[in-house]
Structure 1
Amino acid sequence: MTSGAWSPDNTRILTTSDDRTARIWDATTGHHHLTLTGHTSALSGGAWSPDNTRILTTSYDGTARIWNATTGHHHLTLTGHTSSLTSGAWTEPEPV
């Protein structure tokens, strides 16, 4: 495992790994819910969106990916870096 993160509501845990996957776990039972696949190199980090609906993963393949936290559907790949990405983070929107 390369990183771990609690969901903002403390019900799930996100782990990332050298095996090029991210996994979502039930924080109470330890039951495995989803495996996120698609990166071509080891994952270096992961983060939950503040509203629990999305996950950001970063990888040594130079990309970041955004996923649906419930279905595991891949939404977007961020590309352009010429080297590894080692972390990523979400921010809270400013109140209107």
Structure 2
Amino acid sequence: IAVAQVINKNPDRDDGHFTCKDEKLFETYLQFVGIALTNAQIVEISRQEYDRNRNLLEVVHDLFEEQTSLEKVVLKTMQRAQKLL
């Protein structure tokens, strides 16, 4: 949720009052601002998912790489799990 405010209309134009055209222009502008904010949120969520998936792939890689010792597998898995938190 966001709040936007317009103030200080030029007193030399329209007696310093906002017109319906001004309001419509601002409303249109705010729609684009809303789209930009939504896109920023989507990018952030995508980045977080990418990091999470990368860490999970590293866990899987460690499991296949280190199959000689159960203790080493558990240790590496715990280290990777801590990164996810």
Per the normalisation by structure 2, the TM-score is: 0.19
Greater CA radius of gyration, 1 or 2?
A: 2
**Bigger proportion of residues as strand:** 1
**Bigger proportion of residues as helix:** 2
Higher relative CO (Cα under 8 Å, sequence separation at least 6) belongs to: 1
